[in-house]
């Protein structure tokens, strides 16, 4: 599975420009699912299994896109000004490198001189240096997009890369769709677009799929680093079953079903309350007449930095838990 | 109305925090069962109760939409001392939390607790005077650390334990009067309709999740596709320090809200009816967002013409919200009269492609 993760995190796909990542997923799923289609917003919708008597249409959603930058201006000396696609944090930016999607060109993020070194200037005080000496040498145009450039690192138990948010969810969903054998459900794997800019892909995918149950697969924050804000999630303690985030409260019946499934399969899990951020599950919940939703989160340190870290055991247990849950009929209890 | 007052006291004695509305849902389902013809639960847990109209099918329908969920707290972590760290559900006003009695809804049953504030010297410098933020408040259940870690889970709910209290006859104080006071308006409307006839179908809708996402109203609007909707919610009543132009009188009738979430012709119809019946209403203007279920209900499916009635309430989003029960009575009478008057021709009055009363063409 590490090879799949490496391929996915090293591909470039800022929100709205997910084509390269989508093609990679299509290649990985070929021959392993019943059907695949791409909808109007670029979501890849893969289906497997038939909805039996005891079955549901279950939508699993992991987003293809990552945060990135887009060029807004190129000056006479060839320096490129840019703005963010999604939640790019200035404190994680200066000194980093980006790689442009179209040309593969690499640039360094520079920072204008600033006197107060204890504060972090905004992205408008930064620029990309492509190593050009004048504008004529620059192959980047206004509107070109780029992602952070940082290779995948396998630290043994822990994996580090840019775009673990949410390629790790994508990798898990790929493994689940491939590994799914007998299921009473119609399982719809949605590889969604534009999550980082307002959960836009999953909104239309959920309307189109019209599922009976929805589960998002995405990263969550942790409280296990020095002086971290309080959060009862740690790397390596198992996948996190979301109870609440700042954009959604999981259906309590879905939480109970996921927990019971984890206990039955003897897999570790953690209960998650996330103070900032939300996932595709929010958009699935509000689709049509409403959908009961939950979210399986992969604990991740340094989210929205070029070095996002996950625990490989958590990743493998996420795949196992989802396969165990999907193998049996779903009985949601009382609220 | 005496019956409705007792019903309201019951409602503010049960939990039902946003996303976890089961306790209030169960209470309402049994309260509305004798008053309506059918009851359903939406996929997100909103209660839909239908009182059929007399007109020939297919009939128009009016949905009266009011949220039943309440703000509260959630356990974010259990620390080494067994104290509970907190996450807000909805717009909690943290300034009033220290010293409050709460109920922790744990796996093994409800447990009492108190919200505590660390001594000033134990807080970071910027938090040591005034009221610290929610991040520094804890719930103490009295359990020893090991017991607390066994009994309490991350994600357990915490609700206010304030008991209902009548003040000065017609005033009622308690938690969750936002929005259970408005659910009481709807229950009282259904009671009044028992002795009246109405042509249109009436959907009584108690929505979930208003305090966090408004998704209850959005999804119920999509599912029911009512011809018209009236949302009932609370608004700010005059209270010490509240600027006069931003607050409404208690015991002067419900506010009728004018702004972008309001259908202009429907507003006029309700306003004219109130004037004819001599039921006092207070005009209330919101410039952008009504802050109610109407925001998403209005844009559900192909769009739903919506009006908003508000009950003035003091000390919103605290455990000691106060309402005047006469305002509940007045709002219910206005709604019952409005429903009785709906006929086949009513929708013609709402057409926006014809010039209306007092409007430039």
- Inter-chain contact A244–B154, Cβ cutoff 8 Å? no
Distance of residue B106 Cα from the nearest chain A Cα, in angstroms: 14
User: Is A244 in contact with B43 (Cβ distance < 8 A)?
Assistant: no
Structure tokens at B61: 């329908």
Q: Give yes or no: residues B187 and B40 share one domain.
A: yes
In Å, how far is B126's CA from the nearest CA of chain A? 17
Structural domain ending residue among the three candidates B110, B125, B160: B160
User: Would strands A145-148 and A126-129 be described as parallel, antiparallel, or unpaired?
Assistant: unpaired
How many domains does chain B fold into?
2
Contact B306, B263 (CB under 8 A): yes
How far is residue A66's CA from residue A68's CA, in Å, rounded to a whole number?
A: 6
Report the pLDDT value the prediction gives residue B359, as an integer from 0 to 100: 61
Nearest-angstrom CA–CA distance, A127 and A98: 11
Question: Are A272 and B219 a contacting pair at CB < 8 A?
Answer: no
Confidence class of residue A335 from pLDDT cuts 50, 70 and 90?
A: low
pLDDT in tens, A235-284: 999 999 999 999 999 999 999 999 999 999 999 999 999 999 999 999 99
Residues B231 and B314 in one domain: yes
Query: Residue B92: its pLDDT value, please?
Result: 92
For residue B169, tell me if it sits in a domain.
Answer: no
**Distances, alpha carbon A321 to alpha carbons A49, A159, A239, in Å:** 18, 20, 9
Query: How far apart (Å, rounded) are the C-alpha atoms in residues B234 and A101?
Result: 51
Give the whole-angstrom CA distance, residue B267 versus residue B308. Answer: 8
End-to-end CA distance of chain B: 44
Distance CA B74, CA B104 (A): 9
ipTM of the complex: 0.94
User: B66 and B7, same structural domain?
Assistant: yes
Q: Is the pLDDT of residue B360 over 60?
A: no
pLDDT at A215 over 50: yes
Q: Is residue B82 domain-shared with residue B30, that is, in the same domain?
A: no
pLDDT for B357 equals: 62
Distance between B296 CA and the closest CA of chain A, angstroms = 10
pLDDT at residue B2 tops 80: yes
- Burial group, residue A331, by CB count within 10 angstroms (0-12, 13-18, 19+): exposed
Give the chain B residue nearest A229 (alpha carbons).
B135
CA-nearest of B134, B145, B14, B9 to B75 is B134
Which chain A residues have a beta carbon less than 8 Å from that of B25?
335
State whether residue A24 is helix, strand or coil.
helix
Task: Please judge whether A230 and B22 are an interchain contact, meaning their C-beta atoms are less than 8 angstroms apart.
Answer: no
Q: Is residue B49 part of a domain?
A: yes
Q: What pLDDT was estimated at residue B361? A: 42
Rounded to the nearest angstrom, the gap between the alpha carbon of residue A185 and the centroid of all alpha carbons in its chain is 24
Average per-residue pLDDT for chain B: 95
Mean pLDDT of A149-153: 95
Residue from B155, B223, B300 to probe the interface with A (highest A Cβ count within 10 Å):
B155
Q: A195 catalytic, yes or no?
A: yes
My answer on whether B290 and B193 are in the same domain is yes
Q: Say whether A289 and B155 touch across the interface (CB within 8 A).
A: no
The boundaries of the domain holding residue B264 are: 2-70+175-350
Contact yes or no for B76 and A232 at CB 8 A: yes
Domain membership of residue B357 (yes or no) is no
Residue in B42, B48, B87, B156 to test binding to A, most A beta-carbons within 10 Å: B87
For residue A244, give the nearest of B77, B155, B220 by CB distance.
Answer: B155
A251 vs B75: CB contact, 8 Å cut-off? no
Q: Per-residue pLDDT for B242 more than 50?
A: yes
CATH of the domain at B302: 3.40.630.10
Considering only the beta carbons, identify the residue of A271, A275, A286 that sits closest to B155. Answer: A271
Contacts of A334 in chain B (CB under 8 A): 22
Residue in A closest to B16 by C-alpha: A335
Comparing alpha-carbon positions, the chain B residue that sits nearest to A252 is: B20
Domains with residue ranges and CATH for chain A: 2-66+162-326 (3.40.630.10), 68-148 (2.40.30.40)
Angle between helices B264-277 and B325-341 (to 10 degrees): 110
Compute the nearest-CA separation of A292 from chain B (Å): 6
Q: What is the pLDDT of residue A119?
A: 87
Q: Which residues pair with B67 in a beta bridge?
A: B207
Distance from CA of B346 to the nearest CA of A (A): 27
- Closest CA–CA distance from residue A224 to any residue of chain B (Å): 12
Q: What is the 3-state secondary structure (H, E, C) of chain B?
A: CHHHHHHHHHHCCCCCECCECHHHHHHHHHHHHHHCCEEEECCCCCEEEEECCCCCCCCCEEEEEEECCECEEEEEEECCCCCEEEEEECCCCHHHCCCCEEEEEECCEEEEEEEECCCHHHCCHHHCCCCCCHHHCEEECCCCHHHHHHHCCCCCEEEECCCCEEECCCEEEECCHHHHHHHHHHHHHHHHHCCCCCCCEEEEEEECCCCCCCHHHHHHHHHHCCCEEEEEEEEEECCCCCCHHHCECCCCCCEEEECCCCCHHHHHHHHHHHHHHCCCCEEEECCCCCCCCHHHHCCCCCCCCEEEEEEEEECCCCCCEEEEHHHHHHHHHHHHHHHHHCCCCHHHHHCCCCCCCCCCC
**Contact yes or no for A249 and B209 at CB 8 A:** yes
For residue A288, list chain B residues with Cβ-Cβ distance below 8 A: 219, 222-223
What percent of chain A clears pLDDT 70, i.e. is strictly above it? 99
B29 vs A contacts (CB less than 8 Å): none
| Tokens found for residue B330 | 């007045």
From CA B66, how far away is CA B68, in angstroms rounded?
7
pLDDT at B323 over 60: yes
pLDDT digits (tens, 9 = 90+) for A46-85: 999 999 999 999 999 999 999 999 999 999 999 999 999 9
| Whether residue B61 is found in the same domain as residue B78 | no
pLDDT band at B358 (very low <50, low <70, confident <90, very high): low
**Residue in B18, B45, B76 closest to A273 by CB:** B76
Q: What is the C-alpha to C-alpha distance for residues B75 and B88, in angstroms, rounded to an integer?
A: 9
CB contact under 8 A, A289 and B85: no
Tens digits of residue pLDDT in B71-129: 999 999 999 999 999 999 999 988 999 999 999 999 999 999 999 998 777 788 887 77
Over its C-alpha atoms, chain A yields an Rg (Å, rounded) of: 20
Calculate how close chain A gets to B85, using CA atoms only, in Å: 8
Whether residues B20 and B85 fall in one domain: no
Of A271, A289, A291, Cβ closest to residue B154: A271
Q: Quick one: B338 and B233 in the same domain?
A: yes
Residue B355 belongs to some domain of the structure: no
Q: Are residues B226 and B285 in the same domain?
A: yes
Segment A271-301, tens digit of pLDDT: 999 999 999 999 999 999 999 999 999 999 9
Considering the domain boundaries, does residue B361 fall inside one? no
Q: Which residues of A touch B (CB under 8 A)?
A: 223, 229-232, 243-244, 247-252, 255, 270-273, 275, 282, 285-286, 288-292, 334-335
What is d(CA A83, CA A67) in angstroms, rounded to the nearest whole number? 11
Q: Does B327 lie in the same domain as B292?
A: yes
Give the tens place of pLDDT for each residue, A33-48. Answer: 999 999 999 999 999 9
From the candidates A195, A196, A272, A308, which is the catalytic residue?
A195
Report CB contact under 8 Å: B78, A232.
Answer: yes
Q: For residue B79, what is the domain's CATH number?
A: 2.40.30.40
A2, A172, A311, B302, B306 from A155: Cα distances, Å: 11, 19, 10, 53, 57
- The pLDDT score that the predictor gives to residue B151 is 97
Look at residues B160, B183, B215 and tell me which one is the last residue of a structural domain. Answer: B160
Do B149 and B206 belong to one domain?
no
In DSSP terms, B307 is beta-bridged to B230
User: Would residue B170 count as lying in a domain?
Assistant: no
**Partner-chain residue, chosen from B21, B77, B223, that has the shortest CB–CB distance to A232:** B77
Residue B167 lies in a domain: no
The DSSP 8-state label assigned to residue A79 in this structure reads P
Q: Would residue B336 count as lying in a domain?
A: yes
B237 and B311 belong to one structural domain: yes
Mean pLDDT of B148-153: 97
* Rounded mean pLDDT, A319-328: 98
pLDDT, residue A136, reads 87
């Amino acid at each position: 599975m590490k090879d799949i993760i490496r391929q996915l995190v090293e591909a470039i796909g800022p929100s709205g420009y997910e084509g390269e990542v989508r093609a990679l997923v299509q290649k990985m799923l070929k021959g392993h699912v019943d059907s695949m289609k791409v909808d109007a917003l670029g979501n890849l919708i893969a289906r497997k299994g038939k909805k039996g008597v005891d079955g549901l249409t279950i939508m699993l959603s992991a987003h293809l896109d990552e945060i990135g930058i887009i060029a807004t201006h190129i000056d006479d000396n060839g320096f490129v000004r840019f703005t963010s696609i999604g939640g790019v944090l200035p404190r994680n930016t200066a000194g980093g490198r980006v790689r442009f999607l179209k040309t593969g060109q690499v640039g360094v993020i520079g920072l204008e001189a600033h006197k107060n070194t204890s504060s972090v200037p905004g992205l408008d005080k930064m620029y990309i240096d492509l190593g050009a000496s004048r504008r004529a040498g620059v192959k980047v145009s206004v509107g070109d997009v780029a992602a952070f450039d940082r290779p995948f690192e396998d630290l043994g138990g822990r994996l580090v890369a840019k775009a673990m948010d949410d390629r790790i969810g994508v990798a898990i969903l790929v493994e689940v769709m491939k590994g799914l054998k007998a299921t009473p459900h119609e399982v719809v794997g949605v590889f969604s677009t534009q999550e980082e800019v307002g959960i836009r892909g999953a909104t239309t995918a959920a309307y189109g799929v019209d599922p009976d149950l929805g589960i998002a697969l995405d990263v969550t924050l942790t409280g296990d680093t020095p002086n971290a804000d309080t959060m009862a999630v740690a790397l390596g303690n198992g996948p996190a079953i979301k109870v609440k985030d700042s954009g959604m409260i999981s259906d309590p019946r879905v939480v109970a079903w996921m927990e019971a499934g984890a206990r039955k399969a003897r897999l570790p899990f953690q209960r998650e309350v996330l103070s900032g951020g939300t996932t595709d599950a929010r958009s699935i919940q509000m689709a049509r007449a409403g959908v009961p939703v939950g979210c399986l989160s992969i604990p991740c340190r340094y989210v929205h930095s070029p070095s996002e870290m996950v625990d490989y055991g958590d990743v493998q247990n996420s795949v196992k838990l989802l396969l165990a849950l999907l193998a049996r009929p779903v009985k949601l209890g009382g609220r | 109305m005496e019956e409705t007052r007792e019903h309201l006291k019951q409602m503010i004695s049960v939990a039902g925090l946003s996303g976890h509305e089961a306790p209030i849902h169960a209470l309402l389902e049994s309260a509305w069962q004798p008053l309506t013809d059918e009851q359903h639960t939406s996929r997100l847990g909103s209660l839909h109760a239908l009182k059929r109209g007399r007109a020939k099918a297919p009939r128009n329908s009016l949905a009266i939409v009011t949220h039943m969920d309440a703000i509260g707290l959630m356990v974010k972590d259990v620390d080494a001392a067994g104290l509970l760290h907190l996450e807000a559900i909805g717009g909690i006003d943290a300034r009033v939390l220290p010293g409050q009695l709460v109920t922790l809804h744990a796996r093994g049953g409800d447990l009492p607790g108190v919200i505590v504030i660390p001594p000033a010297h134990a807080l970071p410098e910027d938090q040591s005077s005034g009221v610290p933020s929610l991040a520094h408040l804890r719930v103490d259940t009295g359990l020893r650390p090991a017991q607390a870690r066994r009994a309490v889970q991350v994600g357990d709910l915490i609700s206010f334990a304030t008991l209902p209290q009548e003040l000065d006859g017609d005033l009622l104080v308690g938690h969750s009067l936002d929005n259970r006071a408005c659910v009481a308006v709807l229950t009282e409307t259904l009671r009044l309709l028992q002795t009246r006839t109405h042509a249109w179908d009436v959907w009584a809708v108690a929505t979930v999740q208003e305090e966090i996402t408004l998704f209850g109203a959005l999804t119920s609007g999509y599912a029911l596709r009512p011809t018209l909707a009236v949302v009932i919610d609370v608004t700010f009543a005059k209270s010490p320090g509240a600027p006069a132009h931003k607050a409404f009188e208690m015991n002067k009738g419900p506010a009728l809200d004018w702004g972008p979430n309001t259908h202009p012709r429907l507003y006029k119809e309700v306003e004219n009816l109130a004037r004819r019946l001599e039921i006092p209403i207070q005009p209330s203007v919101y410039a952008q967002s009504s802050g109610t279920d109407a925001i998403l209900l209005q844009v559900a499916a192909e769009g739903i013409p919506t009006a908003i009635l508000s009950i003035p309430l003091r000390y919103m989003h605290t455990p000691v919200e106060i309402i005047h029960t006469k305002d509940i009575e007045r709002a219910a009478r206005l709604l019952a009269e409005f429903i009785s008057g709906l006929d086949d021709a009513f929708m013609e009055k709402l057409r926006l492609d014809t010039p209306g009363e007092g409007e430039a063409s």
